[in-house]
Amino acid sequence: MIWIIAALLLFILQIAFVIFFEYQRPSKAIVWLIVLHLIPVIGFLLYVFVAKEYMCFPALSQKESSQWNRIKADLIERCRQRVLNNTHEETVCHDDQLHALLSGFSAAPITACNETTVFSEGESAFEAMLSSIAASEHHIHVEFYIIRDDRLGTRFEQLLIRKAQEGLHVRLLFDGIGSRRLGKAYLKKLRNAGVEAGCFFPLLPSFMNKRLNYRNHRKIVVVDGKSGYFGGLNIGDEYLGKDPKFGYWRDTHFSIKGDAVIWLQDAFLTDWHRVTGEIITDPLYYPIQECRGKELVQVVKSGPDEPILELIFSLIVRAKKRIWIETPYFILEPGVLLALKTAALSGVDVRVIIPGVPDKNLVYTATLSYVQELLRAGVRFYSYQKGFIHAKVIISDDLAFSGSANMDIRSFCSQFEINALFYDGTVVDRLMQDFYRDRGDSKEILQSKFENQSGFQKLTSVFARLLSPLF
């Protein structure tokens, strides 16, 4: 009898613990309470080590903070002057409220004088990256969520080794979970050649420090501080379409030159400091950019301490003509779900392209539950048939938002991401053309798909939807 009472008290304490820490996020609290009921002790341990609120990195010293803030203030002022000198203020954004949000959202300002190239698949993007690295003269910064020790990974490895041996500063960052299969031999060859390599949240320390749920999902390459690459591609042969399960790999990646590169550099060097403790302040890493283009671009760095949920929500609610979305994962926070419903019911053209072949079955089942609900509101969905679609794009009227962030709760709130907001009609038109082409390679999902589901399928859908806030 005493053991039963003790177990009951322990269970009540576990429930109280979760409610105390999650009361501001009711949907997440409910999911964890369900998990506690299903697997009482194991569920609580999972919560403690996986779901605890993000703990920020240690604060900079006063001297370090002063250096960092001075550099950023100078860079922000440099970019602001370029915008004033090369554009008219009213051309930046036609929506005053959205402009105010975007101007204050990120430490990275709207930048001018940019020239962007859009890549719709891996081969051309990787060749461009490798060519830029080969031509580098001072430094190379590479950061990816996933790095594979395969043919493509070996090409990057050998080139980085060669450039390090030539005397360049070569720095590499990778995520501890995304690159968990990256062997020690791969890294040893890089380090022996002079490449500085760091792991963002290594697996075991992340588990012990309760940071396992917070991953660095960024994909960044910066060469000499003058050219940058970012988007959805990681380093691995599957991103070249060589995985037999998925075949053709459809992605969106960007090459950029201009003032926006400053803020890709800032994102990398911030992460470098988080991993190594080193603050890099040499002006050579922030060179004056050539004013080669006329595009306005705003780099948006986000993470658990800088969520992008408000920005995504604003892009949806301010749209008057269209909201077009491409995403491999579609798991929505309640506010975003309501915003999409309201937009569709208000006559906005809301369309979403998702994969036809899932890579994570439970996540895909949850995705389809959101699809079924939004179909009833008038949102149109398409399942991509040509291969696997990994592109992450939101087009809101005449603006486009794209980068590493998926349309899911993890990207909204828990992962370190790098995206950009594109104001230029040329880039937005190109992304719209890609959307049209992808829609042609897709099959529209109709409400009839869900009318003849079996009882088991419905039960699985309910279970996946309940767990979706944890995905």
Residue 199 has pLDDT above 80, yes or no: yes
Superfamily of domain 62-300: Endonuclease Chain A (3.30.870.10)
Say what the pLDDT of residue 57 is. Answer: 56
Q: Which of the following is catalytic: 139, 301, 341, 392?
A: 392
Q: Which of the following is catalytic: 139, 141, 169, 224?
A: 224
Say what the pLDDT of residue 100 is. Answer: 66
Which of 250, 457, 245, 232 is closest to 366 using CA atoms?
457
Q: Which of the following is catalytic: 28, 169, 217, 341?
A: 217
Say what the pLDDT of residue 19 is. Answer: 61
In angstroms, the CA 451 to CA 468 distance is 22
Q: Which of the following is catalytic: 149, 237, 397, 441?
A: 397
Active site residue 88: no
Residue 334 has pLDDT above 50, yes or no: yes
3-state helix, strand, coil in the chain (%, to 5): 50, 20, 30
Q: Which of the following is catalytic: 390, 398, 408, 424?
A: 390
Q: Which of the following is catalytic: 219, 226, 253, 301?
A: 219
Whether the full predicted model's pTM is greater than 0.95, yes or no, is no
Q: What percent of the chain has pLDDT over 90?
A: 56
Active site residue 224: yes
Active site residue 349: no
Compute the average pLDDT of residues 250-268. Answer: 96
Say what the pLDDT of residue 414 is. Answer: 81
Third-level CATH fold of 309-470: Endonuclease; Chain A (3.30.870)
Compute the average pLDDT of residues 371-399. Answer: 96
In angstroms, the CA 315 to CA 93 distance is 12
Beta strands 380-384 and 388-389, pairing class: unpaired
Active site residue 392: yes
- Helices H, strands E: what count in the chain? 16, 16
